[in-house]
Amino acid sequence: MKSSLLRQALILVALAFIPGIGQAIYYRDRVSWESRVPLSELVTVAQAKSWGQNALWVDARPDTDFERDHVPGALPLNEDRWNELLPQFLAAWSPEKKVVVYCSTQSCNLAGEVARRLRNEAQIKNVFVLRGGWEEWLKEKK
**Residues forming the site for other proteins (CB under 8 A):** 3, 6-7, 28-29, 31, 61-62, 64-65, 78-84, 86-88, 90-95, 108-110, 117, 121-124
Contact yes or no for 59/71 (Cβ under 8 A): yes
Q: Which is nearer to other proteins, 47 or 62 (CB)?
A: 62
Q: Which is nearer to other proteins, 50 or 105 (CB)?
A: 105
CB of 91 to other proteins, least distance (A): 4
Instruction: Detail the DSSP E strand segments found in 13-123.
Output: 42-43, 55-59, 75-76, 98-102
CB of 87 to other proteins, least distance (A): 5
CB of 136 to other proteins, least distance (A): 18
Q: Which is nearer to other proteins, 61 or 70 (CB)?
A: 61
Hey, how many other C-beta atoms are within 10 angstroms of the C-beta on 47?
A: 15
Distance CA 6, CA 68 (A): 62
Of 69, 68, 137, give the one whose Cα is nearest residue 101: 137
Q: Which is nearer to other proteins, 44 or 97 (CB)?
A: 97
Distance CA 13, CA 65 (A): 49
